[in-house]
Amino acid sequence: LTPGSERYENVQLCSAALKAKNGQMSKFETDYMLRVKPEAKAMTKVAECKYWAADYKNAKILLDKASQKLSKSPQENLLETVEINRVRASIRMDLWDWKGAEIYLRKNIELLTKYGKDESLLMSAKSLLAHALEKQNRVAEAEAVRNTNKKKKKNSKAKYDFLFTDE
């Protein structure tokens, strides 16, 4: 880990979150939020580290602040909104509130289907939703969500079938 790298900052943020949860003050979080732009992205990263440290209350507060910083247009802030919803869902799943997590995961799938261009993010969101549905014993729904991922994969594989023919 080299100082200034993204991984180094993640470790420092998580360490600061753990210290803050235990009552020790750290300037790294506030410095990070002042330095990194956009603000919502920085707040979300700090909130994710607070979630990692099991400081759910402060993580939720930061996520609410990050949401307020975003403009109302989901197209402009798609990745930030999806990340905020993912962290909120992760907090809910950590607390075994699978129904609460499902709400945020469905919002992400809706946003990514409507505005997203990154297929891997959509597949990841669907996979998380399927997991949350399974935890609620809604196995048929989970399989339906998983099968939409498989259909996409099968269709994309068909494009390259010509590689396996003898012609």
Which residues fall within 8 angstroms of residue 14, CB to CB, at 6 or more apart?
Answer: 49, 52, 53
Taken in order 9, 109, 66, 89, the sign of the CA dihedral is negative
User: For position 150, what pLDDT does the model report?
Assistant: 62
Res 86 pLDDT > 90:
yes
pLDDT digits (tens, 9 = 90+) for 40-78: 999 999 999 999 999 999 999 999 999 998 877 777 788
Tokens of 166: 């003898």
Q: Are 133 and 141 in contact (CB under 8 A)?
A: yes
State the pLDDT at residue 162. Answer: 54
Which residue in this structure is represented by tokens 């360490």?
Answer: 15
Phi-psi bin for 149: left (phi > 0), alpha (psi -120 to 50), beta?
alpha
Residue scoring higher pLDDT (72 or 17): 17
Q: What is the pLDDT of residues 89-103, one digit of tens each?
A: 999 999 999 999 999
Q: Say what the pLDDT of residue 164 is.
A: 57
* Amino acid, res. 135: K
Could you tell me the pTM of the whole model? 0.81
